[in-house]
A = this chain, B = another copy of it.
């Protein structure tokens, strides 16, 4: 396998393993076995498992960014943008039967107190999500479809965190219900 392909194979395999099993429950040996590459090749591409974890987080965040394209779709009304975004995010969770949760949330609880560079990357990822949500909420406040009594950034921060909580609960319940409740509450009571 060409060198670039080995690296890509390791990242792709790790994304699946770290998402489903977690960071500390997955060894470098698990990864190289699942990727079908020699264990020694791992350290040709990554200085450590932490370095791989950061690359996996970045890859995952890019994927979530693609799910968020409805937030930028100005042909839709602000609340419709949010509705479509949440639907896509729920479908993403449904693709693994709500068993995996959000990699960002998983790493937040598992690694925030273990790997400072990971915590920093997670902060950036959350900032990006909150900014994208806040822009849509501000549009809704501008056109009167969302109550403007609370600043958009405050609402967006709360909604971002509440989503993470709903995903965490959906993972522990192995059910879509917490995510559906999140949408009912956010679009039916909070962003109204």
**Do B24 and A174 touch (CB < 8 A)?**
no
- Which bracket fits the contact residues of A? 35 or more
A114 and B171 CA atoms in complex are apart in Å by 11
Q: Tell me which residues across on chain B come within 8 A of A114, comparing CB atoms.
A: 21-22, 25
Q: State how many angstroms separate the Cβ of A108 from the closest Cβ of chain B.
A: 4
Binds B, one of A67-75, A118-126, A135-143: A118-126
Is A99 part of the binding interface, using a Cβ–Cβ cutoff of 8 Å?
Answer: yes
Inter-chain contact A123/B173, CB cutoff 8 Å: yes
Chain B residues with CB below 8 A from A105, complex form: 109, 165, 168
Contacting residue for A112 out of B119, B166, B174, B189, CB 8 A? B174
Proximity string of chain A (174-192) to chain B, C-beta cutoff 8 Å, 1 when within and 0 when not: 1000100110110011100
Q: Which of A5-13, A37-45, A80-88, A153-161 is found at the contact surface with chain B?
A: A153-161
Tell whether, in the assembled complex, residue B178 and residue A157 are in contact, meaning their CB atoms are under 8 Å apart. Answer: yes
Which of A101, A122, A160, A161: most chain B Cβ within 10 A?
A161
How many monomers of this chain does the complex have?
2
A169 and B108 contacting across the interface, CB-CB below 8 Å: yes
Selected A-B contacts with CB under 8 Å, 27 pairs? A22-B24, A22-B110, A22-B113, A25-B114, A101-B112, A105-B165, A108-B168, A108-B171, A109-B168, A110-B110, A113-B171, A122-B172, A123-B172, A126-B169, A126-B173, A150-B188, A157-B181, A158-B181, A160-B165, A161-B162, A161-B168, A161-B178, A163-B165, A164-B164, A165-B166, A165-B168, A185-B190
Q: Give 6 nearest A-B pairs by CB, closest first.
A: A165-B165, A24-B24, A162-B162, A164-B165, A161-B165, A108-B172
